[in-house]
């Protein structure tokens, strides 16, 4: 059985007009929707930043903690026993070579010198007496007045007298040398430390008195990890002197004005740390570098010349290997396979796949597809400075 739903009939002509207008609007909207559905949607251009490819040079720079040490450090010690009579130098002052530092009471050794002088005088007298007896013995032997054995005895006595004088001379030289050691002088120019023993102390041979450190030239010791050391050695073989120059960064982050040179590289790897010790020499005319001071050494481990480099973040990968997006002249992108080299300071060396003058996408790769249109957002697409040192 069929059922019908009754539709209310408008009671007036005005209501009928409004109803017809409503149905007309609905039909118009339906027609517009059908037309827009038939037209393809236009995807907006992807926003990217790019960099223009150029051949450039780059340096692999590393920084390492280091400690300053005096180029030479000499311990000043007593060479003779005695009582420390006086300290002449001012502690901490600069001294020149042979400057007087300490005086050890000299009287006991002066007495020894006088005794050895007397001993030498006796030896000299004995030698002169032996020479006179030998002269007479030769004359008597020629006349047959004495036997050959007597002549030989007098000759031996002369030899003993000569040896006695030589011994006396040696004792006198030793006494004079020991007496000179009572004046303790600087073995080299440098900065003095505090005195170790006060005046009046009884000294034994070898007693430490002070230390002198040469500061116009300093040594800086640092350690390279095994991998970095291998790079540094290879660079030295390729370009002798390249990685021998180092620079210093001080505790206040300022750079020391004068460069240094590596003069020693350990031949052994420290098994406990896996590092190799190196030493650099720096001129220190203003005494700005202080022995014991901690600094940072900056060294160029490797230099790459005339290579194509791109920011490391520009390189991606898929199942075919390393890939990079290249922006063409029509502002569409091409996916390019590349061959990679080493990474230097966050920049990737490209061995094959790119040519100077091309532009690569640095940021905005997510969602890119070959042939997509892009919009470059950076006006300056030149390569950034590739020689910036890489922090540890």
- Give mean pLDDT, residues 53-77: 90
Length of the chain equals 392
Which pLDDT score, from 0 to 100, does residue 386 have?
43
Report if pTM > 0.85: no
Taken in order of first residue, the domains within the chain and their CATH numbers are 47-58+306-376 (2.40.420.20), 61-69+215-303 (2.40.30.170), 78-105+182-212 (2.40.50.100), 107-180 (1.10.287)
Determine the average pLDDT of the residues in 86-109. 95
Write the CB contacts of 253 (distance below 8 Å, at least 6 apart in sequence).
Answer: none
Nearest to 194 by CA among 89, 291, 104, 103: 89
pLDDT higher than 60, residue 6: no
Mean pLDDT, residues 179-202: 95
Mean pLDDT value across residues 8-15: 47
Mean pLDDT computed over 276-285:
93
Residue 4 has pLDDT above 60, yes or no: no
Q: Check residue 383 and give its pLDDT.
A: 53
Quote the pLDDT of residue 158: 93
Mean pLDDT of 359-378: 91
The per-residue pLDDT for range 282-329, each reduced to its tens digit, is: 999 988 999 999 999 999 887 878 889 899 999 999 888 999 999 999
pLDDT > 90? residue 31: no
When pLDDT is cut at 50, 70 and 90, the band that residue 22 belongs to is: low
Residue 183 has pLDDT above 80, yes or no: yes
With cut-offs at 50, 70 and 90, classify the pLDDT of residue 234.
confident
**pLDDT value at 390 more than 80:** no
């Amino acid at each position: 059985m069929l059922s019908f739903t009754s539709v209310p009939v408008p009671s007036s002509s005005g209501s009928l007009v409004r109803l017809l207008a409503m149905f007309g609007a609905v039909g118009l909207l339906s027609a517009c929707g059908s037309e827009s559905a038939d037209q393809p949607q236009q995807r907006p251009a992807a926003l990217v930043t790019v960099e223009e490819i150029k051949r450039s040079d780059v340096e692999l720079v590393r920084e390492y903690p280091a400690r300053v040490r005096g180029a030479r450090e000499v311990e000043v010690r007593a060479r003779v026993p005695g009582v420390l009579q006086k300290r002449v130098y001012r502690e901490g002052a600069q001294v020149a070579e042979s400057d007087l530092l300490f005086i050890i009471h000299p009287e006991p050794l002066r007495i020894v010198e006088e005794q050895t002088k007397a001993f030498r005088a006796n030896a000299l007298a004995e030698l002169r007496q032996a020479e006179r007896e030998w002269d007479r013995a030769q004359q008597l032997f020629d006349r047959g007045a004495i036997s050959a054995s007597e002549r030989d005895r007098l000759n031996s006595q002369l030899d003993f007298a000569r040896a006695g004088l030589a011994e006396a001379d040696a004792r006198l030289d030793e006494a004079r040398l020991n007496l000179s050691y009572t004046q303790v002088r600087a073995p080299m120019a440098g900065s003095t430390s505090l005195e170790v023993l006060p005046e009046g102390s009884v000294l034994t041979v070898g007693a430490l008195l002070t230390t002198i450190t040469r500061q116009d030239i300093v040594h800086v010791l640092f350690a390279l990890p095994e991998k970095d050391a291998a790079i540094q050695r290879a660079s030295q073989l390729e370009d002798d002197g390249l990685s021998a120059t180092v620079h210093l960064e001080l505790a206040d982050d300022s750079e020391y004005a004068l460069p240094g040179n590596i003069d020693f590289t350990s031949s052994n790897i420290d098994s406990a740390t896996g590092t190799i010790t190196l030493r650099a020499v720096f001129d220190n005319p203003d005494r700005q570098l202080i022995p014991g001071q901690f600094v940072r050494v900056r060294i160029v481990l490797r230099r790459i010349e005339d290579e194509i480099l791109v920011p490391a973040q520009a390189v991606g990968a898929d199942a075919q290997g390393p890939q990079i997006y290249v922006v063409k002249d029509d502002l569409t992108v091409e996916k390019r396979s590349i061959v990679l080299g080493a990474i230097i300071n966050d920049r990737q060396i490209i061995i094959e796949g790119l040519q100077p003058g091309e532009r690569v996408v640095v940021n905005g790769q997510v969602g890119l597809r070959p042939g997509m249109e892009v919009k470059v957002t950076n006006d300056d697409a030149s390569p950034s400075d590739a020689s910036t040192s890489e922090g540890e």
